């Protein structure tokens, strides 16, 4: 995520520095007004904390490890403006002193991580946590979402910056002068790593720190929770009541899927390649490129490996497509809940046995 | 610095506590070595920090803006010469800068050799190496290595407070300079807290921790560190207020450029102009 020197052209770096400047200015003015004499010590110590947290080696689900930026934690505890300044400070020290991230790319790194990261994390956290109590599990979920979404949006911005380099800057022979990959390579290359490992690291640290603070120091979570309920709204199943209603509503609305015209790109059955109407739909969603005359051998071979009990959300024993959709939604949700309940039960039994 | 040194055994790749400890220790070791080097009497160490900050930053910008590999190569040679005359051992530079940059940027640049369209240089049926691909990989690696070497030279030959004081000469906001200075100081205070926490945990841990427990430990450690940091910021604030801090910041500036510094400034300008002209 830390862009080194040489990956972006000086004009891109200057542009991103100029784009970041108004945010830095507004953040500094707001913080000066809000904190006055506390500004310098608070930002200094928090920037130092962010720097150290970036060195933590986080164990992630699946056995791998990753480093987080801690930007969502900063945005949740300090608010977005102080977070912008604290993360920018940590990034400047990393670039100047530890060579992590380029000196010419300080503006770009700050724009991506400090500005996009902080504002996104704060917005997602506020949106998802709503007015829930400080101790509510919903806030842990909101922090997880904030960490995951913010780091991925920051990575997306970096990928876009990389991806435009070969378009704009190349020598007379056509050799790219800076980051060499166009958008079609830069975007997936950056996003795959961030949607999996880096995003997960940010999710774990954000949710974990908020869960810890809820128990140990809930006062630190009040800055970004102005309308939080005074007491916990409920525990266990009770607190998830609105989610159950939402799930039921979504199930009832599933037949709306039938109204969608055309075919979903890439979700074709082997027989679609021999069907004139389906072929037309495939061509329409593929930029008018005609599909092959017959199903590709790989698709035909793999399609016969597994036959779904409810193919295309239409159980064979039902005539009504709407009812088929509804039944599929109920069956799918029920199975998912069952799998999680079984996993929870197995985990609890395993833990009891070990104890 | 006051940062505890760990035995070598703790630096080997092990569980996540050991790996976290290793990265924390390597940061403190780097800082300690940088401070020791900056205090030694090499050529760059004797130059006015303002000249050094301006000159090295300008060279980094020229590296980034250059459109010629020969210009970037020339600047790399100039950086090597400065390192050698400033008692910065090439082995240290290789360990701290060149190898990590080569590993990261090399991994990023390697596929470009095959993926960049252009005139084929070598083809083995599936993979084709193109001239443009080779050039673009060379640009990326040489730029990253040269810029990283120049920025390392600045930090390895200049005490951090002087770097910050020099930034004031270039109209950097005083509040930013003070925050950067204090952040640097408190990085080591919090680093020491983190090291103590992880070391004490490591000494109490028998056997192997479960994956979930390791995750819980890491996030709880971050939470504890956060609470400690905010408590520390409150204490620092009170200490500053008791010493008369009312929000106004003043930085003392007592640098004075000598004839030698003007010569270095001229040298930086000559190298920069020459490299800029070659790489235009």
Q: How confident is the model at residue A18 (pLDDT cuts 50, 70, 90)?
A: very high
Q: Any idea what the Cα angle at residue A63 is, between residues A57 and A69, rounded to 5°?
A: 30
Give the pair of three-digit tokens for residue A30. 């707001």
Q: What is the DSSP string of B187-206?
A: HHHHHHHHHHHHHHHHHH--
By the 8 A CB rule, do B98 and B149 touch? yes
DSSP A59: E
- Would you say residue B11 has pLDDT above 50? no
pLDDT digits (tens, 9 = 90+) for A189-213: 888 888 888 888 889 889 999 998 9
Question: String of b and e for A78-97 (b: at least 16 CB within 10 Å)?
Answer: bbbbbbbbbbbbbbbbbbbb
Angstroms from A140 CA to nearest CA on chain B? 12
Residue B13 exposed, middle or buried by CB count within 10 Å (0-12, 13-18, 19+): exposed
Mean pLDDT for A224-237 is 64
Res A26: pLDDT: 92
Res A164: pLDDT: 92
In this predicted model, which residue has the larger pLDDT, A15 or A37? A15
For residue A56, which phi and psi values (nearest 5 degrees)? Answer: -65, 135
Angstroms from B196 CA to nearest CA on chain A? 13
**SS3 assignment, position A128:** helix
CB contact under 8 A, A52 and B115: no
Which among B75, B79, B69, B74 is positioned nearest to B139, based on CA atoms? B69
For residue A280, which phi and psi values (nearest 5 degrees)? Answer: -65, -45
By the 8 A CB rule, do A218 and A232 touch? no
Provide the domain limits for residue A89.
10-229+236-263
Which among A68, A49, A39 is positioned nearest to A200, based on CA atoms? A68
In this predicted model, which residue has the larger pLDDT, B29 or A17? A17
Res B37: pLDDT: 81
- The answer to whether residue A51 sits within a structural domain is yes
Query: Is the C-alpha dihedral spanning A74, A76, A78, A82 positive or negative?
Result: positive
In this predicted model, which residue has the larger pLDDT, B56 or A254? B56
- Would you say residue A23 has pLDDT above 90? yes
- The answer to whether residue A124 sits within a structural domain is yes
For residue B82, which phi and psi values (nearest 5 degrees)? Answer: -65, -40
What percent of chain A lies above the pLDDT cut of 90? 25
Angstroms from A148 CA to nearest CA on chain B? 15
Res B208: pLDDT: 77
Q: How confident is the model at residue B171 (pLDDT cuts 50, 70, 90)?
A: confident
Mean pLDDT for B137-156 is 92
Angstroms from B241 CA to nearest CA on chain A? 8
Which among A216, A194, A202 is positioned nearest to A53, based on CA atoms? A202
Task: Sort out which chain A residues have CB atoms less than 8 A from B197's CB and list them.
Answer: none
**Would you give the end-to-end CA distance of chain B in angstroms?**
44
Give the pair of three-digit tokens for residue A237. 């199943």
Which among B122, B153, B200, B169 is positioned nearest to A99, based on CA atoms? B153
- Would you say residue B271 has pLDDT above 80? yes
Angle between helices A321-354 and A241-253 (to 10 degrees): 150
Give the pair of three-digit tokens for residue A187. 């975007």
Res B207: pLDDT: 76
- Would you say residue B1 has pLDDT above 60? no
Give the pair of three-digit tokens for residue A327. 């039944």
Q: How confident is the model at residue A139 (pLDDT cuts 50, 70, 90)?
A: very high
Question: String of b and e for B111-125 (b: at least 16 CB within 10 Å)?
Answer: ebbebbebeeeeeee
Res B249: pLDDT: 62
B189 in reach of chain A (CB within 8 A): yes
Which among A216, A104, A177, A32 is positioned nearest to B112, based on CA atoms? A177
Res B14: pLDDT: 56
- Would you say residue B107 has pLDDT above 60? yes
Helix (H) or strand (E) holding B126: none
The label of the residue with tokens 């074709």 reads: A268
Give the pair of three-digit tokens for residue B38. 């900056």
Res B4: pLDDT: 37
B25 in reach of chain A (CB within 8 A): no
Res B7: pLDDT: 39
Task: Sort out which chain A residues have CB atoms less than 8 A from B224's CB and list them.
Answer: 212, 216
Mean pLDDT for B269-276 is 86
- The answer to whether residue A164 sits within a structural domain is yes
Give the residue from chain A lying closest to B191, CA to CA: A52
Res B6: pLDDT: 38
CB contact under 8 A, A176 and B215: no
Give the residue from chain A lying closest to B198, CA to CA: A56
Instruction: Quote the number of domains for chain A.
Output: 1
- The answer to whether residue A326 sits within a structural domain is no
- For an interface test with A, give the residue of B10, B17, B64 to mutate (most A CBs within 10 A): B64
Mean of pLDDT over chain A: 82
CA-CA distance, A148 to B218, in Å (whole number)? 18
CB contact under 8 A, A58 and B16: yes
- Would you say residue B5 has pLDDT above 50? no
Rounded alpha-carbon distances, angstroms, from residue B25 to A53, A168, B19, B22, B94: 14, 42, 10, 5, 19
- Would you say residue A339 has pLDDT above 90? no
Q: How confident is the model at residue A234 (pLDDT cuts 50, 70, 90)?
A: very low
Helix (H) or strand (E) holding B129: strand B128-130
CB contact under 8 A, B214 and A171: no
Give the pair of three-digit tokens for residue A26. 């507004």
Angstroms from B174 CA to nearest CA on chain A? 11
Task: Sort out which chain A residues have CB atoms less than 8 A from B111's CB and list them.
Answer: 181
Rounded alpha-carbon distances, angstroms, from residue A212 to A118, A209, A327, B144, B163: 21, 5, 41, 40, 38
Mean pLDDT for B68-82 is 92
- The answer to whether residue A307 sits within a structural domain is no
- The answer to whether residue A328 sits within a structural domain is no
CA-CA distance, B229 to A52, in Å (whole number)? 11
**SS3 assignment, position A68:** coil
Res A237: pLDDT: 59
Angstroms from A209 CA to nearest CA on chain B? 5
- Would you say residue B192 has pLDDT above 60? yes
CB contact under 8 A, A46 and B229: yes
- The CA-based diameter of chain B, rounded to the nearest angstrom, is 74
- Would you say residue A156 has pLDDT above 90? yes
Angstroms from B16 CA to nearest CA on chain A? 6
CB contact under 8 A, A93 and B180: yes
Give the residue from chain A lying closest to B157, CA to CA: A97
Residues 148-177 of chain B whose Cβ lies under 8 A from any Cβ of chain A: 148, 151-152, 154-155, 160, 163, 173, 175-176
Res A283: pLDDT: 78
Res B8: pLDDT: 41
CA B4 to chain centre: 21
CB contact under 8 A, B240 and A41: yes
Give the residue from chain A lying closest to B244, CA to CA: A37
For residue B248, which phi and psi values (nearest 5 degrees)? Answer: -90, 135
Which value, in Å, is the radius of gyration of the alpha carbons in chain B?
23
CB contact under 8 A, A10 and B61: yes
- The answer to whether residue A320 sits within a structural domain is no
- For residue A14, give the CATH number of its domain: 1.10.1760.20
Mean pLDDT for B20-33 is 78
Write down the domain spans for chain B.
Answer: 3-278
Mean of pLDDT over chain B: 82
CA-CA distance, A34 to A56, in Å (whole number)? 31
pLDDT digits (tens, 9 = 90+) for A67-83: 788 899 999 988 899 99
Give the residue from chain B lying closest to A48, CA to CA: B187
Q: How confident is the model at residue A98 (pLDDT cuts 50, 70, 90)?
A: confident
Res A63: pLDDT: 61
Task: Sort out which chain A residues have CB atoms less than 8 A from B226's CB and list them.
Answer: 49, 73, 77, 209, 213, 220
Give the pair of three-digit tokens for residue B63. 């590296």
CB contact under 8 A, A46 and B184: no
H helices present in A221-289, as ranges: 241-253, 276-285
pLDDT digits (tens, 9 = 90+) for A265-323: 666 777 777 888 878 877 777 777 788 888 787 777 777 777 777 776 777 777 777 77
- The answer to whether residue A225 sits within a structural domain is yes
Mean pLDDT for A169-196 is 87
pLDDT digits (tens, 9 = 90+) for A39-54: 778 888 888 888 888 8
């Amino acid at each position: 995520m830390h862009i080194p020197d040489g990956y972006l052209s000086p004009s891109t770096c200057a542009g991103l520095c100029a784009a970041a400047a108004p945010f830095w200015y507004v953040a500094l003015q707001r913080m000066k007004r809000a904190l006055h004499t506390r500004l310098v010590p608070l930002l200094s110590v928090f920037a130092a904390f962010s720097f150290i947290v970036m060195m933590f080696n986080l164990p992630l689900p699946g056995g791998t490890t990753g480093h987080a930026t801690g930007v969502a934690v900063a945005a949740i505890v300090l608010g977005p403006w102080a977070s912008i300044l604290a993360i920018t400070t940590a990034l400047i020290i990393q670039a100047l002193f530890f060579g992590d991230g380029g000196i010419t790319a300080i503006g770009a790194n700050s724009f991506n991580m400090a500005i996009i990261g902080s504002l996104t994390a704060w917005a997602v956290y506020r949106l998802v946590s709503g007015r829930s109590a400080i101790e509510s599990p919903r806030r842990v979920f909101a922090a997880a979402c904030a960490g995951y979404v913010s780091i991925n949006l920051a990575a997306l911005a970096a990928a876009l910056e990389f991806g435009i380099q070969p378009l704009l800057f190349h020598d007379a022979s056509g050799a790219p002068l800076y980051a060499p990959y166009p958008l079609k390579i830069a975007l997936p290359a950056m996003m795959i790593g961030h949607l999996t490992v880096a995003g997960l690291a940010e999710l774990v640290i954000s949710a974990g720190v908020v869960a810890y603070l809820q128990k140990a120091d809930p006062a630190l979570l009040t800055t970004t929770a102005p309308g939080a309920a005074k007491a916990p709204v409920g525990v266990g199943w009770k607190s998830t009541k609105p989610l159950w209603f939402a799930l039921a509503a979504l199930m009832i609305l599933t037949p709306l899927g039938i109204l969608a015209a055309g075919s979903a790109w890439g979700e074709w059955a082997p027989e679609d390649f021999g069907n004139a109407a389906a072929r037309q739909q495939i061509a329409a969603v593929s930029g008018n490129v005609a599909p092959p005359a017959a199903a590709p051998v790989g698709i035909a071979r793999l399609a016969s490996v597994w036959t779904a009990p409810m193919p295309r959300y239409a159980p064979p024993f039902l005539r009504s497509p709407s009812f088929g959709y509804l039944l599929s939604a109920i069956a799918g949700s029920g199975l998912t809940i069952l799998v999680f309940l079984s996993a929870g039960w197995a985990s609890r039994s395993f833990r009891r046995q070990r104890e | 610095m006051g940062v505890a040194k760990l035995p070598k055994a703790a630096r080997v790749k092990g569980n996540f506590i050991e790996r976290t400890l290793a990265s924390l220790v390597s940061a403190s070791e780097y800082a300690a070595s940088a401070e020791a080097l900056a205090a030694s009497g090499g050529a760059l160490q004797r130059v006015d920090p303002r000249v050094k900050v301006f000159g090295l930053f300008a060279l980094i910008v020229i590296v980034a803006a250059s459109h010629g590999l020969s210009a970037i190569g020339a600047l790399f040679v100039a950086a090597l010469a400065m390192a050698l005359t400033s008692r910065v051992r090439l082995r240290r530079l290789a360990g701290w800068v060149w190898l990590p940059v080569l590993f990261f940027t090399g991994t990023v640049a390697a596929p470009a050799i095959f993926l960049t369209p252009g005139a084929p240089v070598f083809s083995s049926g599936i993979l084709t190496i193109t001239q443009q691909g080779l050039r673009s990989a060379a640009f990326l690696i040489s730029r990253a290595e040269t810029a990283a070497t120049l920025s390392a030279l600045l930090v390895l030959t200049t005490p951090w407070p002087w770097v910050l004081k020099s930034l004031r000469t270039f109209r950097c906001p005083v509040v930013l300079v003070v925050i950067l200075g204090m952040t640097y100081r408190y990085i080591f205070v919090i680093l020491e807290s983190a090291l103590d926490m992880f070391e004490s945990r490591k000494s109490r841990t028998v056997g192997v921790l479960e994956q979930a427990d390791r995750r819980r430990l890491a996030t709880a450690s971050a939470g504890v560190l956060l609470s400690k940091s905010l408590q520390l910021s409150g204490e620092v604030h009170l200490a500053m207020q008791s010493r008369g801090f009312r929000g106004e910041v003043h930085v003392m500036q007592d640098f004075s450029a000598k004839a030698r510094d003007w010569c270095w400034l001229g040298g930086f300008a000559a190298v920069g102009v020459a490299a800029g002209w070659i790489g235009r």
